[in-house]
Amino acid sequence: MSSYVIHEQKEPQMKPLNWVVNFELCLLGMLLGIAVAIGPLAFVFLWPSIWTMLSLLAIPLGVLVFVKILKHLRELIWMNNHRNQHVLYDDRVEYQLWNHNSKVPVEGSVRIADIREIYYGRYVFYYSQTHNRNQQSNPNVVLMPVLFLVYKHGLEDRALAVPFTDVMDANRWLEVIGGRDIPLMLSALLVHDFYDESVPQLLREDEDAARVQFEGNIDRQYRPFLDQLIEEAEQEEQRELTDEELDELELEMKRQEYEQQLKRRRSPFRGVGLPGWLVFPLQFGVAHWLMNLAVAGTIDPSGIIFPALLLIVFNTIFLLLVKWMHWGQMLIYPVLTFLSFVFLDLSDVETSPAYQVSSVLLAMSLMSPIMGIIIFFGVKVMRKNRDQNNLPQAPAIHNKTVNSEDKPYIAP
């Protein structure tokens, strides 16, 4: 019998409107990067001074923004033009799967005669970035049909995932493959990594999977299957838990709370706390006081000793007051310090003492990240014991005997 194509399943392209929006945002971002990279050169050329030369420090940032966004745009274009493809023949399934990292396709074929089992289920599909056939409003994330073809490959079993965006396409595949006396299973298991070698084992270990005979519309068979699972889950929830199950539930809740605490500690902003944020208005007040001293002739307006001491002292106080230290706080302090010092003196009279003091403070705040690295690690050593004691405690394993002399577990 000659082999012929029955159906071709290809990943959908990005929705045209979304593609236009993404392209425009990338274009604006690249223009911003160019402006940040070229703008300082224009400032130095038009208004040459020591202060405008400090703006040259922003050039690497502009180049980095431009390169990153350009790389992202090229990735979007590549992904839109290189989509996974599955082709159904009367005797085999051919596939072409693109590796986003190596940009090299993986091609192959699976003979229908080698397929041992078929699993029909759902996968998470991000509708907002793709073309919608019906042009209707859809949620950003929906569950779409997927077929897992478990087949024999040498001495091991592998699974080929065929994702769909229309259940009718899945029906066409099952009309061909489902009529070959191959076991068809319904599964509610959500597989996030289609290419994991353990997928066949995961599917076979699904205790809720049910074997069915294809009757022409797999979705009509799948819905009662899901309803039954939901009903069984509700009945299970209403059942009174045993003491062992209650202990396991309590341990699971503690574990989730522990993971949430660890997740919160990954945020440099949450780690600052109210005392840490109050450092910035206090620092602004002291800087304003220095400016008044310069206007009164008490201190040299162009001197760097007092501005340097101001930044060193308040950077140290800031890191001592935060709830927990995070490397991102090395950036939070200089950025907020620079933004606050911008409003110290808004005049454009370069000869005034207030202008000179504010200019020195702005220049010092731009260079403060270098000094801040030393301060950060110095304070980190000072706070070592306090931070270790404030780490969230991992939940103890149920029924584990803990002696009073045992040291508590501290997460890394």
410 pLDDT higher than 60: no
- pLDDT category of residue 181 using cuts at 50, 70 and 90: confident
Query: pLDDT value at position 66?
Result: 93
Q: Looking at the predicted structure, is the pLDDT value of residue 220 above 80?
A: yes
- Of the given ranges (91-105, 220-234, 391-405), which has the lowest mean pLDDT? 391-405
pLDDT tens digits along 33-66 = 898 889 888 888 887 776 677 778 788 888 999 9
Task: State the pLDDT confidence band at 160, using cuts at 50, 70 and 90.
Answer: very high
Q: What is the 3-state secondary structure (H, E, C) of the chain?
A: CCCCEEEEEECCCCCHHHHHHHHHHHHHHHHHHHHHHHHHHHHHHHCCCHHHHHHHHHHHHHHHHHHHHHHHHHHHHHHHHCCCEEEEECCEEEEEEECCCCCCEEEEEEEHHHEEEEEEEEEEEEHHHCCCCCCCCCCCEEEEEEEEEEEEECCEEEEEEEECCCHHHHHHHHHHHCCCCCCEEECCCCCCCCCCCCHHHHHHCCCCCEEECCCCCHHHHHHHHHHHHHHHHHHHHHCCCCHHHHHHHHHHHHHHHHHHHHHHCCCCCCCCHHHHHHHHHHHHHHHHHHHHHHHCCCCCCCCCHHHHHHHHHHHHHHHHHCCCCCCCHHHHHHHHHHHHHCCCCCCCCCCCHHHHHHHHHHHHHHHHHHHHHHHHHHHHHHCHHHHHHCCCECCCCCCCCCCCCCCCCECC
- Does residue 405 have a pLDDT over 50? no
pLDDT higher at 259 or 130 = 259
pLDDT of residue 290: 92
Among 105-119, 288-302, 339-353, 392-406, where is mean pLDDT lowest?
392-406
The predicted pLDDT at position 406 comes to: 42
The least confident of 133-142, 143-152, 370-379 is 133-142
What is the percentage of the chain residues whose pLDDT exceeds 70? 90
In this predicted structure, the answer to whether residue 398 has a pLDDT above a threshold of 60 is: no
Give the per-residue pLDDT at 139: 52
